[in-house]
Structure 1
Amino acid sequence: MGRVRRNKSYKLTNIYDRRSREAPFNAELAEVVVDNPLALDPGEKIVAVRSVRGDPLGRLHAHHQIDEAQYRGGRAFQNDWERAERGPQAVDTTREYVDGTGTREPVTESQRQAVLRLNRIERELGTDGSALVYDVLVLGLTMDQIGERRAARTQRWNDYFARRFRECLDRLALIYGFATETGTRRANQRG
């Protein structure tokens, strides 16, 4: 009996290709370069795919509409907001049941620092800028949805909201230390 010939050549480079071949029906994906978690040498990078469907900040960064400093400033704001938020919490079944009233847990130092940073951001961005940043980064609204909420549905208003949001992201990058004042001035003069 003869040998079966294979039409496909097997290369060792394809063994480590862990990318998904199929995407969900309504997926919005973007490629991003990240540190290789399996690397033997520090600093080695790989290309990964992330979902930007419910992430307006990630979508803007993936389409190169905002730079790295603006992206990191927005993520830092989201992190502070999540840390400072004290919303509804699940019932802790390991705690002793007394009378059904939950006692409030004390405010941690990281929560206090996050609230102080958010207060400073609100002072620096103003009421309108703070509301715009909240709508996009916390609620995940698009510029069209923000225009509908504010009864300003024209393209000109959408462009204004987008430009104002980028200005707020510049300010967030300065506050969190991801950019310097001279770097943002140069970028604003170019744009």
Structure 2
Amino acid sequence: MVRARRNKSYRLARLNDWPSHDLPFNAEVAEVAVDNPLALEPGEKIVAMRSIRSDPLGRLHSHRQIDEAQYRGGRAFQNDWERAERGPQAVDPTREYVDGTRTREAVTESQRQAVLRLNRVERELGADGAALVHDVLVLGLTMDQIGQRRAVRSQRWNDYFARRFRECLDRLALVYGFATEIGPQRTERRR
């Protein structure tokens, strides 16, 4: 009896190495290195595609306009905002129906801590900086849209908002502990 020959080795470790080249027509993606979920050793990374279409912070980070500390500070702000937000909630069909009114759910400790951090951020950024950060990170507005909301429509104002937003991201990185504050560098003249 003749044995069938294998031409390829079928290793399970190589299954995740098949990149997808099929992207939608209007996709805006960037490559990002993430932890390999199928790795045999901890710390192995793979390259994945991240959508930056409706993510202004991801877009700025992928185009190298902000650094890692600013990016992580912005993500921490978004995480706190989502945790602290108590907006409209879906009806839970597993709960017993009584008369249509729902009892108010208690505030969890993580929500309380998130609100405290957001209050500190607002004090650090000021009213204008906090509004700018909210517009970009929560509402997803561009600098042009922010200028339109504030009735200033010139490139100079867009550049100002972008510069001010990067300053606010620096402050967020400091508040959340992703960066350390460097004091003013004083150079003294020697005579």
Q: TM-score range by the shorter chain?
A: 0.7 to 0.9
* TM-score, scaled relative to structure 1: 0.87
- 1:17 is displaced (CA, Å) by 2.4
1:33 corresponds to which letter in structure 2?
A
CA shift in 2, pair 1:39/1:124, >3 Å: same
Alignment-derived partner of residue 155 in structure 1 = 155
Q: How far apart, CA to CA, are the structure 2 residues paired with 1:128 and 1:10?
A: 62
User: Could you tell me how far 1:156 is from its partner in structure 2?
Assistant: 0.6
Give the residue type in structure 1 aligned to 2:107. V
Letter aligned with residue 131 of structure 1: A
The percentage of counterpart residues that share the same residue type is 80
Runs of 4+ with deviation above 6 angstroms: 9-14
Distance in 1, matches of 2:156 and 2:103, equals 49
Whole-Å separation in 1 of the counterparts to 2:27 and 2:113: 36
- Which whole-Å CA distance do the structure 2 matches of 1:140 and 1:19 have between them? 29
How many positions carry a matched residue from both structures?
Answer: 177
Aligned 1:61-80 pairs, distance under 5 A: 61-80=61-80
Instruction: Give the Cα–Cα distance (whole angstroms) in 2 for the partners of residues 44 and 21 of structure 1.
Output: 23
1:131 equivalent in alignment to 2:119: no
Using the TM superposition, give the Cα deviation of residue 18 of structure 1 relative to its aligned residue in structure 2, in angstroms: 3.0
1:21 and 2:21 aligned: yes
Q: 2 CA distance for matches of 1:57 and 1:67? A: 11
Aligned to 1:5: none
* Cα gap change, 1:130 to 1:113, in 2 (>3 Å): same
Give the equivalent residue in structure 2 for 1:171: 171
- 1:71-100 CA distances to partner (integer Å, 9 max, x unpaired)? 000000000000000000011111111111
Q: CA deviation at 1:185?
A: 6.5
State the shift of 1:69 in Å.
0.4
- Tell me by how many angstroms 1:37 deviates: 1.2
Could you tell me which amino acid in structure 2 is paired with residue 101 of structure 1? T
- TM-score, length of structure 2 as denominator length: 0.87
Structure 2 gaps, min length 5: 1-6, 186-191
